[in-house]
Amino acid sequence: MEYKIGVIRGDGIGPEIVNEAVKVLDAVSSKFGFDLKYTDIDMGGCSIDKYGVPLTEEAVEAAKASDAVLMGSIGGDAKTSPWYKLEPSKRPEAGLLAIRKKLNLFANLRPSVLYPELKKACPLAEETADRGFDMIIVRELTGGLYFGERYTKTSKGLETAVDTLSYNEFEIRRAAIKAFEIAMKRDKKVTLVDKANVLDSSRLWRRITEKVAAGYPDVKYETMLVDNCAMQIVRDPAQFDVVLTENMFGDILSDEAAMITGSIGMLPSASLNDTKFGLYEPSGGSAPDIAGQNIANPIATILSSGMMLRYSLDQDKAADAINEAVKQVLKEGFRTGDIMSEGCSRVNTDEMGDLIADRAGK
């Protein structure tokens, strides 16, 4: 079996962290007997430097021709980089927004996992951190309040701003199906988070999601109000497996869920469309302050490549091997600078990649 992988190395630490993920992918693909054919795709600042725009049509076509795309990160230092003298639609970040739109990536996945070895960084109560947690937020990414009609008007001297929150059943159904499919590969539980006691849109989310849930009898389905969920994430995050929610609630809850891990540099993410295709990237940015020094933590990108194997290529065993290798290397006490603690061995970006590739490929 051969898969086509688009690779966006991007800017800043992007090339360094992606190189390590590719190393790990090569190790597991040879162990589990499949081939990965990589195509480099330029996006962000490096594309501006070469072609004058952050995303070319050729780059979009190359991404579309891939089974999945693995990305590092894009962007530079907003104060010093010449990219930020350009108008907003020509800056590196515009490339990311454009590719998400052109590939119709409507579901954003943000896992939040507490590794026992890193639990000291967790800001939650000790007994909560001791229980650990492993949840994933599935956020609808292309609808709702951020995409609705908006305007500001002044009437009789009173200035009023209006934002519109709207969802149709098609948008809800496809996001819900993604969440249930993902739950089938995990602990088989979906929590729909909404504000159904107030919002009509939330009540539609409940009606449609309930119908989708009926098609997945093995998955436990529950609903929760968003204000309660915000509390439950800090009180007892272990209760969650897959959290499904609309765009704005997901925006806020996914940052809350990331924060409680205490180590955002460890968190992968993915954006999916209604095929198997996905764009996989670390949650962090291009970290221009440490770029080119071989000290960035490549684990979020390596875990993103594991998500790619699971959700786009259905290579679950290879994905498990990557997750286990990361746990193993942490257990053995190896750390990059950002997660370093007393008694551990400090390693560089490429050494961390070598260690994980070695454990994953065995």
Residues labelled as active-site residues: 146, 195, 227, 251, 255
Of 312 and 315, CB closest to ligand NAD: 312
Give the whole-angstrom CA distance, residue 194 versus residue 215.
21
- HSE of 343, CA atoms in CB hemisphere, 13 A: 5
Residue 218: other Cβ atoms inside 10 A: 8
Query: Which DSSP letter does residue 241 get?
Result: S
Of 178 and 335, CB closest to ligand NAD: 335
CA distances for 29 relative to 2, 212, 324, angstroms: 10, 34, 15
Residue 31: exposure state from Cβ atoms within 10 A (0-12, 13-18, ≥19): middle
Part of the chain binding ligand NAD (CB under 6 A), chosen from 20-28, 211-219, 229-237, 278-286: 278-286
Q: Is the dihedral of CA 319, 118, 269, 248 positive or negative?
A: positive
Q: Should residue 20 be labelled a site residue for ligand NAD when binding is judged by CB under 6 A?
A: no
Phi, psi of 81 (to 5 degrees): -80, 135
Q: Should residue 281 be labelled a site residue for ligand NAD when binding is judged by CB under 6 A?
A: yes
Q: Should residue 74 be labelled a site residue for ligand NAD when binding is judged by CB under 6 A?
A: yes
What is the footprint of ligand NAD within residues 170-189 (CB under 6 A)? none
Give the whole-angstrom CA distance, residue 212 versus residue 270.
22
Least distance between ligand NAD and beta carbon 209 (Å): 28
Give the whole-angstrom CA distance, residue 119 versus residue 361.
27
Identify the bridge partners of residue 2 per DSSP, sorted by sequence position. Answer: 35
Of 168 and 293, CB closest to ligand NAD: 293
Position among 143, 237, 278, 285 found at the interface with ligand NAD (CB under 6 A): 285
Of 201 and 286, CB closest to ligand NAD: 286
Total residues contacting ligand NAD (rule CB under 6 A)? 21
Of 233 and 296, CB closest to ligand NAD: 296
Position among 66, 247, 286, 315 found at the interface with ligand NAD (CB under 6 A): 286
Residue 361: other Cβ atoms inside 10 A: 19
Give the whole-angstrom CA distance, residue 354 versus residue 268.
19
Of 12 and 143, CB closest to ligand NAD: 12
Give the whole-angstrom CA distance, residue 181 versus residue 190.
10
What is the footprint of ligand NAD within residues 252-271 (CB under 6 A)? 265
Q: How far is CA 46 from the centre of its chain?
A: 22
Q: Should residue 93 be labelled a site residue for ligand NAD when binding is judged by CB under 6 A?
A: yes
Position among 109, 141, 172, 296 found at the interface with ligand NAD (CB under 6 A): 296
Q: Should residue 284 be labelled a site residue for ligand NAD when binding is judged by CB under 6 A?
A: yes
Q: Should residue 361 be labelled a site residue for ligand NAD when binding is judged by CB under 6 A?
A: no
Q: Should residue 94 be labelled a site residue for ligand NAD when binding is judged by CB under 6 A?
A: no
Residues that bind ligand NAD (CB under 6 A): 13, 17, 73-76, 93, 96, 265, 281, 284-290, 296-297, 300, 338
